[in-house]
Chains A and B, each alone.
Chain A
């Protein structure tokens, strides 16, 4: 099983609908992130959470909300989807510790959720 699991992997919806993308991880990491990928724009940070009680806006948070239900779960919601939110969404996790010679904050990504808003 994948360490970082995203559901659904693909979703087509209509303008105005509420959509939730879910992410769960088995890596035991404290930090979780939601990124959006658009062709030619790379990945842009939507929201991030450094622990269960910590939620922070990223570069492009407008139109999105998140919930950190547990250390292992971080969901992204679009309250009223619009066509320009059509994109590939990635969840990622990282371990905070910056230890010489050890795990040093690398991001581990899920396989992505492709969302199409018509």
Chain B
């Protein structure tokens, strides 16, 4: 079984400040990790994913995340946020093998960027 915990339900931040959204996971097998973003009244879209290789993953809109296997974490970061980054962010984990793609999501973190 696998699970995902997003450590902050809400993160307020001022425009142009850095931000980190925290995600921890647990799994008994190797996993693949994702961050999705949901803008108001829209579906989810992929920000970035870690499948293998370099532990620092770069995604769209200037976001990046670092996979830390020893700490079972996959925190999302952006060095300077914009008002348009206001959204809900979801961390997700997928098993490998034939079940690949069957995602388990965290509870979500609402990022609010203030002017």
Report A's interface with B, CB cutoff 8 A. Answer: 4, 31, 33, 35, 40-45, 48, 50, 59, 90, 92, 94, 96, 98, 104-107, 109-112
Cβ of B30 < 8 Å from any Cβ of A?
no
Tier of interface size on chain B? 20 to 34
Task: Let me know if B102 and A48 touch, CB within 8 A.
Answer: yes
20 contacts between A and B (CB under 8 A): A40-B9, A40-B107, A40-B108, A42-B4, A42-B6, A42-B107, A43-B105, A45-B103, A50-B98, A90-B44, A96-B98, A96-B100, A96-B101, A98-B51, A105-B101, A106-B34, A106-B46, A107-B36, A110-B43, A111-B43
Pick the contact of B101: A43, A44, A107, A111 (CB < 8 A).
A107
Interface residues of B (CB under 8 A from A): 4, 6, 9, 32, 34, 36, 41-46, 49, 51, 90, 94, 96, 98, 100-108
**Residue of B43, B96, B103, B104 with most chain A CB atoms under a 10 A cut-off:** B43
